[in-house]
Amino acid sequence: MDKREILLQTALKLFVAQGFNDTPTSKIAKEAGIATGTLFYFFPTKDDLIVSLYLRLKGLAAENINAVLSGAKSTKEMIKTYYEESLKWSLRNPKEFLFLAQFSNSPYLKKIGNDEISAQIAPVLQIFRSAIEEKQIIDTDVNLLYTLISNQVFGVNQYLLSKKFNKKAQNKIIEDTFDLFWKMIKNADEHIEIRE
């Protein structure tokens, strides 16, 4: 593992345990066994370190989810796969998921450009657009649908982590909660439209 990777892994551990404000860069460097000057060589500011870690983790999550998505055959199956794989990734990577949640609810989110955010969520928005065109789900703003699925993934993940469920129980909860999500967004009547 190179020094940059060691710094990112150490920062992840400390940010999740202590939060952004209570984790000085000096502590990250010390715990990583790397000089503070070296940390600033890779990440000129603490903000750069936090944003770099966020982009890296979002990329890893997307790469993992997209690899499984490629096997989905229908639009509904794609939405279900996205939902299930988002939850499974978060359960396999609890520290990473907690960091992403912390970041998403912090002022640091404003440091990510709109173009970067758009690029990250574009594939999911396109799946929702296709489902709307196919009249499988209600005709509404795809950004709202993305917000709904993201919040449900976060909430269900919190629930799954709050208790000691075995894998079978986890999978059942994931499947049941997707069914609830689908019932909420499916197009029960072609004439139903929700507009801003």
Q: Is 193 helix (H, G, I), strand (E, B) or coil?
A: strand
User: Using CA atoms, how far apart are residues 20 and 25, in angstroms rounded to an integer?
Assistant: 10
Per-residue model confidence (pLDDT) at position 155? 94
Q: What pLDDT, in 10s, does the model give residues 112-154? A: 877 777 777 888 999 999 999 999 999 999 999 999 999 999 9
Q: How far is CA 38 from CA 29, 48, 178, in A?
A: 8, 14, 45
User: Using CA atoms, how far apart are residues 88 and 172, in angstroms rounded to an integer?
Assistant: 12
Has residue 134 been placed in a domain? yes
Domain shared by 67 and 117, yes or no: yes
Q: What pLDDT, in 10s, does the model give residues 44-96? A: 999 999 999 999 999 899 888 888 888 888 999 999 999 999 999 999 999 99
Domain shared by 20 and 77, yes or no: no
Per-residue model confidence (pLDDT) at position 170? 95
Has residue 82 been placed in a domain? yes
CATH of the domain at 111: 1.10.357.10
Has residue 64 been placed in a domain? yes
Has residue 53 been placed in a domain? no
Domain shared by 87 and 164, yes or no: yes
113 CB-contact burial (10 Å; exposed 0-12 / middle 13-18 / buried 19+):
exposed
2 CB-contact burial (10 Å; exposed 0-12 / middle 13-18 / buried 19+):
exposed
Range of the domain at 33: 1-44
Has residue 180 been placed in a domain? yes
Question: What pTM, to 2 d.p., does this model score?
Answer: 0.85
Task: Look up tokens 């892994």; give the residue.
Answer: 9
